[in-house]
Structure 1
């Protein structure tokens, strides 16, 4: 899936929602000053920045498999230990962190259970491990759900994100438990983002980020114009307020 893209493209696509979600995740987990935290699948550093503001750069580490995202996170957050690595192969020692987090990453892990096991491995015994995933399942309420509903009308049977791991109620909890985490609980975290115009909402979908960007990029120019026209008919000219709900699982190593 298309995540080897410029960090600015991600920032203006999913970053506009994940920036709002990050403090909600931190409030659910409650890291405290003095804790050492790891951000798994950090992207260009949205959640990492919030951790730095709370804990200080020397108490934060991060990992992501995308070279452009790693480069952006290193540039934006000097002093943070940012490594290029997938969740399934974290380059950190056992029992290294007081908090281990993965924001909007589990659905894109090649092996979600293995990724969570790695997160638990690098967490100290009893430390909180948490992850979020948008509610993008069919009929869901994630921030991309309006886009996928447009696609369903425009191209019935087209791929959407509803089959990815963690995007239904209980999915993350089941993955956490299979990975061996204890005291697992589920929360629902909701954010709201207004878009002044249709164009402000639509344009980032044309930048090739993630499965939605892959779908738009697969269309020819005429197809993209028809898709945009369908979206405008269903969503209007704006303003458009998008509400997004993420499932959150919190357990202990």
Structure 2
């Protein structure tokens, strides 16, 4: 599910880059520091740190070899290593960050405790799956209208314990971090047309595309047509927005 880097880029990676830029500006870490990007994926946040934060060095860590291969091609100025957010081993850095990852970590509290152990400045951001990530919200609302059982896969309620301001603040303070702040980042997600919106859901990478891959052809077509009826703007662009919640603290 998480090995196809190109599929991830088409699905949501393209929208993660403007969020990463806003996050790095807000984090406002001093220049000349070492960075650790935990769950670096295809390298969107790593690349943004290199472009905007003047790091002394940055290492990206991710469990997916497929994502790391693409990240290494895209971001030659960084080091990439296979690793687990919940066990960073001996790794340490001045700044530890994590972008769009905590929702998928089995034990988020343990992961944040690792971030706090490894770094002095600790920051992260996650999509607001409950309502703010509109492309996914439209998808799951349509899926549930066709098949109520799909609610078991809906990222909104599944990830609510991590993807809202209150839980994020509690994770950071629970890890012993101080001066904790939470900030909302909203970016436009404009699709050229309905095909540009729909086709990434066929890529199998991510929770919603993985769900689509389980559907029989007629069910998948029904879902596609319902979404088209709700979103298609006469064949023109589909203008949505995506919100992420960012959190930062210091040790």
TM-score, normalization by structure 1: 0.91
| Greater mean alpha carbon deviation, residues 55-64 or residues 233-242 | 55-64
For this pair of structures, how many residues does the alignment match? 244
| 1:28 alignment partner in structure 2 | 26
Aligned positions of 1:183-222 closer than 5 A: 183-222=179-218
Aligned positions of 1:136-147 closer than 5 A: 136-137=129-130, 140-143=131-134, 144-147=136-139
Report the Cα distance in structure 2 between the residues aligned to 1:80 and 1:91, rounded to whole angstroms: 19
2:3 maps to 1:4: yes
Q: 1:238 to 1:91 in 2, by over 3 A?
A: farther
Report the Cα distance in structure 2 between the residues aligned to 1:214 and 1:99, rounded to whole angstroms: 33
Residue pair 1:103, 1:131 contacting (<8 A) in 2 also: yes
Residue pair 1:21, 1:190 contacting (<8 A) in 2 also: yes
Query: Unaligned regions of 5+ residues in structure 2, if any?
Result: none
Report the Cα distance in structure 1 between the residues aligned to 2:34 and 2:55, rounded to whole angstroms: 10
Tell me how large the CA RMSD over aligned residues is. Answer: 1.6
Deviation sequence 1:153-208 (CA, Å, 0-9, x none): 22224120021241223121112222222221111110002112000011000101
Aligned positions of 1:77-116 closer than 5 A: 77-93=75-91, 96-116=92-112
| Greater mean alpha carbon deviation, residues 165-174 or residues 63-72 | 165-174
Aligned positions of 1:12-161 closer than 5 A: 12-55=10-53, 59-93=57-91, 96-123=92-119, 127-137=120-130, 140-143=131-134, 144-158=136-150, 159-161=153-155
Residue pair 1:39, 1:48 contacting (<8 A) in 2 also: yes
TM-score, normalization by structure 2: 0.92
Report the Cα distance in structure 2 between the residues aligned to 1:8 and 1:116, rounded to whole angstroms: 28
Report the Cα distance in structure 2 between the residues aligned to 1:233 and 1:176, rounded to whole angstroms: 42
Report the Cα distance in structure 2 between the residues aligned to 1:239 and 1:77, rounded to whole angstroms: 30
Report the Cα distance in structure 2 between the residues aligned to 1:226 and 1:74, rounded to whole angstroms: 39
Query: Unaligned regions of 5+ residues in structure 1, if any?
Result: none
| Greater mean alpha carbon deviation, residues 167-176 or residues 38-47 | 167-176
Q: 1:55 to 1:131 in 2, by over 3 A?
A: closer
